[in-house]
Amino acid sequence: MVNVTKAKQRRDAPLKTPNALGKDAQRDISAELNALLADIFAIYLKTKNFHWHMSGPYFRDYHLLLDEQSDEIYATIDPVAERVRKLGGTTLRSIGHAARLQRLSDNDADFVTPADMLAELREDNTRLAAFMRETHALCDRYNDVATASLLENWIDEAERRVWFLFESGRTT
């Protein structure tokens, strides 16, 4: 009985990571990072979806481009979630939680042309970079230089994806 009680106490114990930024910063930045994390999951899955369903004369080039981009996007998931925990917040717990927070649209269409795939991903990455800039501004208000520094690199990566998608989709 004692082990059951101790296990319940551990399960009910709050996740309180010490942080010097303060409760408001922890709450606000964690919330923004969780929304970003939901968007990152959404754009990751969409990029993989388009990678898996690519067709046409530029199949190999586009297929490889989207595979490279999805790997880059995936690499940001854990650092974003871990930053939330370092701030003292909690992060996404399920696909449903992510779906409630995501701002980027899914694409469940049976067929999407390669040109439309590239254009949609370009716009999504543009929006993701804008969301990251908004989060960066919030970090600046709270003097959270560590999160801001991470965001700067992720913004640059998103802008690189936008550039590659734009140039790959050009017809003239």
Task: Report pLDDT digits (tens) over 82-104.
Answer: 999 999 999 999 999 999 999 99
Model pLDDT, residue 2: 62
The structure's pTM equals: 0.90
22-169 CATH: 1.20.1260.10
- pLDDT interval class at 107 (50, 70, 90): very high
- Please check the confidence at residue 7 and state whether its pLDDT lies above 70: no
Give the CA diameter of the chain: 74
CA–CA separation, 117 vs 111, rounded Å? 10
CA geometry: angle at 148 spanning 142 and 150, to 5°? 150
